[in-house]
Amino acid sequence: MRFNIDVSIKNIERLRRGCGDTFLIKGPKTKIPRDWKKFLGNGKNKEQLVNLLHNEWKQDKYAHHFHGKKLYLSHNDQCTLFTSEDGSTVYYTVQEEADTNIILHCFHASQFCQDKLPIRIRSSNTDVFMLLLRYVNEIENVLLFDTGVGNKRRVSNVTNISDNLGVAKWHAMLNMHALSGSDTTSSFVRRGKLSVKSKLEKCSKFVPILRSLGSSFTVTYKLVTYLEEFVCYLYSNKGYIDINKLRYELFTHKYSPTVTSTLPNTQGDPLPSELTDVMESYHPDEFEDENESDLVNFTCRCLEIFAFIYACIIKILC
């Protein structure tokens, strides 16, 4: 049975994005909404649409559309293969995101592709590329990442990229992606993916630290300290290891305040009086502030290969 989507870490991002109204799709004759993007912004609308396609395409009248073709459709906790002969369920999955389902499709295609032809993935999502880079060595076929539109469309050989990075770095790349900002974690101000990657390549001592992210569901104090040092390194080459001292130095250098009370609060500083009243009315049962390092570690942990395969429990039926 599929897990409860409302309690997943991905649902935090959905709530932050907001969503449109929920439509009731009664059948193939239901009127198409005017704002298609807003319609797809609601997760329940997308589920209804995919279920409609599944119920319609399995009818005999659509068989001629699949002649000489194979179409895989992921819906709820199943993946169905449509051909001109019959539609059959090929495996089950409890994965919520389409990004991780793509990796499942790659594993399945590699298992049943006798000629070991390259597998081409068409996507514009950075998360998909990072997932492919993480699991490319677990798949025998060459993986090609097709992205962009028009003159900017390009195909990247993920297998070659992984070989050039080496075992240590490609293993740390996905964790670097989670730390520097993904669907479930926040990003750094004015520090994009390329900037973080460049810093990581210049100082290789942080590679094993990033690799250790996700090794367990708990984050040790030592790991948090090393991650704090890495974040300081992203913004300064002066050897800072305390993020509060670095923030103080950056703000005083840029704004040169004459009154220290105008500086942002750091860890351990007393709160302004107008915030004290708010904090006094705070009730832990009503809201729980999630530590960012724990969230990053949990994201990395959920993407570990053994946890990933165990959660999916692929059941081949064909």
- Please list, residue by residue across 150-160, b when 16 or more beta carbons sit within 10 angstroms of its beta carbon and e when fewer do: eeeeeebebbe
Q: Do residues 99 and 121 make contact, with C-beta atoms less than 8 angstroms apart?
A: no
**CA angle centred on 231, ends 217 and 178, rounded to 5°:** 45
| pLDDT the model gives residue 18 | 59
DSSP state of 246: H
Instruction: Evaluate if pTM is beyond 0.75.
Output: no
pLDDT digits (tens, 9 = 90+) for 156-180: 999 999 999 888 888 888 888 888 8
In this structure, what is the dihedral angle of CA atoms 211, 183, 125, 312, given to the nearest 10 degrees? 70
Q: Which two tokens stand for residue 109?
A: 């295609």
> What DSSP letter does each residue of 181-205 carry, written as one string?
--SSS--BTTB-HHHHHHHHHH-GG
Identity of the highest mean pLDDT range in 41-45, 113-117, 162-166, 313-317: 162-166
Q: Which two tokens stand for residue 228?
A: 């704090």
**CA angle centred on 193, ends 189 and 198, rounded to 5°:** 105
Separation CA 39–CA 79 (nearest Å): 23
pLDDT digits (tens, 9 = 90+) for 221-235: 899 899 999 999 999
What is the rounded average pLDDT of the residues 28-52? 81
**CA angle centred on 17, ends 194 and 132, rounded to 5°:** 40
pLDDT digits (tens, 9 = 90+) for 103-149: 888 888 888 777 788 999 999 888 889 889 988 988 989 999 999 98
| pLDDT the model gives residue 147 | 94
pLDDT digits (tens, 9 = 90+) for 242-301: 988 888 888 888 877 666 555 555 555 554 444 344 344 434 443 344 466 777 776 676
Indicate the residue type of 165.
L
Specify whether the backbone of 143 is left (phi greater than 0), alpha (psi in -120 to 50) or beta. beta
Separation CA 234–CA 193 (nearest Å): 11
| pLDDT the model gives residue 307 | 39
Tokens 């005017």 belong to residue:
34
Separation CA 237–CA 41 (nearest Å): 42
| pLDDT the model gives residue 288 | 41
| pLDDT the model gives residue 92 | 57
Residue 100: pLDDT over 80: no
DSSP E strands, the chain? 71-75, 78-82, 87-92, 119-122, 143-147, 154-157
CA-closest candidate to residue 139, choices 270, 308, 3: 308
CA-closest candidate to residue 126, choices 169, 167, 170, 181: 181
pLDDT band at residue 308 under the 50/70/90 scheme: very low
